Amino acid sequence: MTSDTKRRILEAAARVATAKGVQALKLESVAIEAGISKGGLFYHYKTKEELLIAMVQAFVDVTENRIATIMADDLEVGAWVRGFLDACQIEEDPEVGSFSRLSVAIMAAAASDKALLKPLNDRQTHWRSALNDSGIDPAVAQIIRLAADGLWINDILDVPTLNEDERKAVYAELVRMSYGNQNRGER
């Protein structure tokens, strides 16, 4: 991914945005949180916008790495879809620490300037193609992706749309749907 210092900066920025809000995401507060000088932070990221773009890119990288990990062991149709479902789960990632904190970077970037979402937007054509070519009905694949995005957004915004049992049932149904028409009763 990036150097250890850059990773530390990205994780610190995500912690600041999560704990104090997007407005508190100032380079000075990120430098303090990362335990480096302001000059050290400027060496890697000269502006808040550069930092937010890097955070969004890290989010994209983590998402794609998680998809690839699932696909390495899953050779059935719909593997990419299941990888995306897994990537939308909020949990720790060894590369960047808290995926939920990194997810906040997406919201911070969107709130600040939609142009900062460029790394994410640039991957949408590829992701759409991967979904459409996953071996299941493309409309079903897109429905699963949109549902996974909805679960992810509810998680990072802490909106209690579903209780834990309902969430598990919805997730299980999305996984089942990701196998398409094959083995419907077995999944």
Per-residue pLDDT of the chain (187 residues; tens, 9 = 90+): 457 889 889 888 888 877 777 677 899 999 999 999 999 999 999 998 899 888 888 888 888 988 999 999 999 999 999 999 988 886 655 554 555 556 666 666 676 677 888 888 999 999 999 999 999 999 999 999 999 999 888 877 778 899 999 999 999 999 999 998 765 444 4
Contacts of 157 (CB under 8 A, 6+ apart): 107
Q: What is the pLDDT of residue 108?
A: 65
What is the C-alpha end-to-end distance of the chain, expressed in Å?
Answer: 35
The amino acid at residue 26 is K
pLDDT score of 132: 95
Q: What is the pLDDT of residue 77?
A: 96
**Domain span at residue 162?**
4-186
Six-digit token string for 102? 């990194």
Residue given tokens 């749309």 in the structure block: 161
Q: What is the pLDDT of residue 85?
A: 93
164-177 and 138-157 helices, crossing angle to 10°: 160
DSSP label at 94?
T
Confidence at residue 73, expressed as pLDDT on a 0 to 100 scale: 93
Q: What confidence score (pLDDT) does residue 92 get?
A: 57
Total domains present in the chain: 1
For the domain that residue 133 is a member of, what is the CATH number?
1.10.357.10
Model pLDDT, residue 170: 96
pTM for the predicted model, two decimal places = 0.80
pLDDT of residue 185: 44
Q: What is the pLDDT of residue 159?
A: 83
Q: What is the pLDDT of residue 186?
A: 45
Q: Are the C-beta atoms of residues 80 and 66 closer than 8 Å to each other?
A: no
pLDDT at 93: 54
Strand partners, 98: 92
pLDDT at residue number 68: 94
